[in-house]
Amino acid sequence: MNRPTALWGLPCITVILAAVVVSGCAPASSTDESDVLTVIQSSVAIGDPHIVSDGLAGRSMIKTIYDALVEWDADGSYQPALAERWDVSEDARSWTFHLRQDVSFHNGETLRASDVVATMGRVLDPSIGGAFGTEGVYASYLGTAQITEVDERTVRIVTEDPMADLLDLVVDMPISPASALDQLPNAYVGSGPYRVAEHTDARLVTVAHQAHWRGQPEYSEIHWVAEADPEARVEAVLAGQAQVAAGIGIQGRDRIATDGGADTAEMNSALAIIFMLNAFDGPTADVRVRQALNHALDLDAIIAEITDGAARPLSGYLTPGHFGYNPETMVYAYDPDLARRLLAEAGYPDGLTLVFDIPQVMPDEMPALSQVMVEQYRDVGIRLEVVEHDDRSGYSQMVRRKEIANGAGFDSSPWSTYRVLREKIHSGLQGPWWEGYENTEVDALIEQAQGTVADADRQAIYRRVYQIVRDDAPWIFLYNPTLYWAVSADMDWAPRVDGLLVFR
């Protein structure tokens, strides 16, 4: 495998941040270059690992540097990590995690229960903030929980209400030694298979943590290289400068197919491209209008035009990979005549005018997507006005304050079904992304699920919720994008179900 030149031609810069040496030059190393993996992606910014984020690039690096109590396997099932086993009470309120005895942090310290308790205290600290409106999300779940050290190897979490999906939260809580927490986010000390050696805006170098509890990691070093241009990422793999390139899009897939010098991997993401509808007041408070908005769209035509076919129509608020997705739930049929009848029944026989807010980025296709929707809605008598917002963070805060017009373009990204339901659907909780939708049966079922420890029984409840919410249409359900990676032809690698690049 070939190692890229230092920062792809950028000047050599060296900075010291806390205890971590950050350098723009390639480190001196006697490592066999065939044992070095180079990954190229849109960014190598890690940020604060305890901020809630669903960004694949940052989370991939965090999962490489840190371990959590539990982890997902390649198929999305929970497996032991720092906790070798766990117990949950019948009422789903008390969780006990039994820690491994052979875990060494990158600074040489040994994992103790006090590290877990201290880390979770930081995760729940309101001063940590959030990204794009996610501040306080974890505290809304566990802010009243009792998180205690039973002994050096045992941690107990007791929640005020039943929380059968607690693992959905702790899987994304990277554990640090208590002594290193005050170094964040300037230095990263975890127990993961790789430790940070160098970090700049353009590159992150992680080296094997030889004392990792799993044993010797697969690679001696992983170089994470930032490249904003997807085409350049593809070319890096074709030129042998990188072994894996993330986020290459369908155009990158086609480029590799033409060249033949590398392979592509693909999978359907956990991302749902949707419009949240204002169910508080106005026309979209009427379920018939919301259903009409779904029936009036030709999703196949939208996917073909906006994504070049690299997506699947959504049948509801989850993707097929989510726990509780109902495979029997149908996608809204494209039926303009039915859409017109529903509008007439709702009191709009001559059509109506709606205003939708959209961000200019995240998802980046939102301006083009909204214009296709304008054209399709015109056919059923809906005059759609689109208001673009260039401040993405401010846009998220506006949606969180529930100040949208009739609808707001968004991407629903949590891999956790529980988080989607609690933060966006449950009317009693009125979470950050809830926009006025109310159904008491749905609320009751969500609460029933949280008291149901057995996965199969809880999944059955979630599937019932999925069908009801689909029929109530609090969102316009659009599509689930496909992710593509470029992979060296001599590399045996396949993406995980959550889309993260995790190397052990």
Q: How many angstroms separate the CA atoms of 111 and 178, rounded?
A: 9
90: amino acid identity, one letter: E
* Domains recognised in the chain with CATH numbers: 6-247 (3.40.190.10), 272-481 (3.10.105.10)
- Between CA 276 and CA 491, with CA 43 as vertex, the angle to 5 degrees is 105
Q: Which of 327, 275, 266 is nearest to 302 (CA)?
A: 275
Q: Which of 358, 469, 457, 474 is nearest to 405 (CA)?
A: 358
Main-chain dihedrals φ then ψ at residue 22, nearest 5 degrees: -115, 120
Contacts of 186 (CB under 8 A, 6+ apart): 17, 18, 20
Virtual CA dihedral for 107, 108, 109, 115, nearest 10 degrees?
40
Rg (CA), the chain: 24
Consecutive 10-residue averages of pLDDT for the chain (504 residues): 33 33 38 82 95 89 97 91 98 98 97 98 85 73 96 98 97 97 95 97 97 96 97 97 96 96 95 98 98 98 97 97 97 98 98 97 96 98 98 94 98 94 96 97 98 98 98 98 96 88 89
pTM of the model: 0.90
Q: What is the pLDDT of residue 295?
A: 98
Q: Which residue is it, tokens 């199969």?
A: 456
Q: What is the pLDDT of residue 127?
A: 83
Q: Bridge partners of 36?
A: 221
Q: What is the pLDDT of residue 1?
A: 34
Contacts of 235 (CB under 8 A, 6+ apart): none
Consecutive H or E run containing 434: none
Contacts of 10 (CB under 8 A, 6+ apart): 24, 202
Q: Which residue is it, tokens 């005018």?
A: 353
Q: What is the pLDDT of residue 8?
A: 37
Give the strand pairing for 78-80 and 203-208: unpaired
Q: What is the pLDDT of residue 29?
A: 44
Give the strand pairing for 146-151 and 272-277: unpaired
- Between CA 262 and CA 264, with CA 263 as vertex, the angle to 5 degrees is 130
Q: How many angstroms separate the CA atoms of 398 and 387, rounded?
A: 13
Q: Which of 116, 136, 112 is nearest to 126 (CA)?
A: 136
Q: What token pair was written down for 286? A: 């009427």
Q: What token pair was written down for 201? A: 């805006």
Give the strand pairing for 94-99 and 154-158: antiparallel
Main-chain dihedrals φ then ψ at residue 420, nearest 5 degrees: -60, -45
Contacts of 9 (CB under 8 A, 6+ apart): none
